[in-house]
Amino acid sequence: MLFGRRVRFALIVIASHILLIALAIAWLIQMLVIAKNGSVKFVEYNQTVLTIEIALVALISIFGIFILFMQIKRLGEKRSVDRKESNFDHK
């Protein structure tokens, strides 16, 4: 195996954050265009391209939700170091 469990999780979280940053940049550009021109209008005449774009946005959204649930789950986990520290506190 190339990467351990923690490295894989860290890479997935980094990918999630990169997608979040990309979304924020796209949103910023849209807001700047609205500030300059008063509105933004999106038109996609090619049905195939529109379908692919919708599918990709759905996949990115599912990925983000999955990562959020993974992070919430990992927050509740205790590592062996945490267990050892709690044993010393009770003695």
**Residue 54 belongs to a domain:** yes
What is this structure's pTM? Answer: 0.65
Range of the domain at 72: 5-79
Cβ-contact 50, 44 below 8 angstroms: yes
pLDDT per position in the chain (91 positions), as tens?
A: 567 778 888 888 899 899 999 999 999 999 999 999 999 888 999 999 999 999 998 998 899 898 888 888 888 777 666 666 666 655 5
Residues with Cβ within 8 Å of 2's Cβ and at least 6 positions away in sequence, in order, are none
**Residue 91 belongs to a domain:** no
**Residue 87 belongs to a domain:** no
- Please tell me the distance from the alpha carbon of residue 56 to that of residue 19, in angstroms, as a whole number: 12
- For the chain, the domain total comes to 1
Buried b / exposed e over 22-46, threshold 16 CB at 10 Å, is: eeeeeeeeeeeeeeeeeeeeeeeee
Cβ count within 10 A of residue 50: 13
**Residue 70 belongs to a domain:** yes
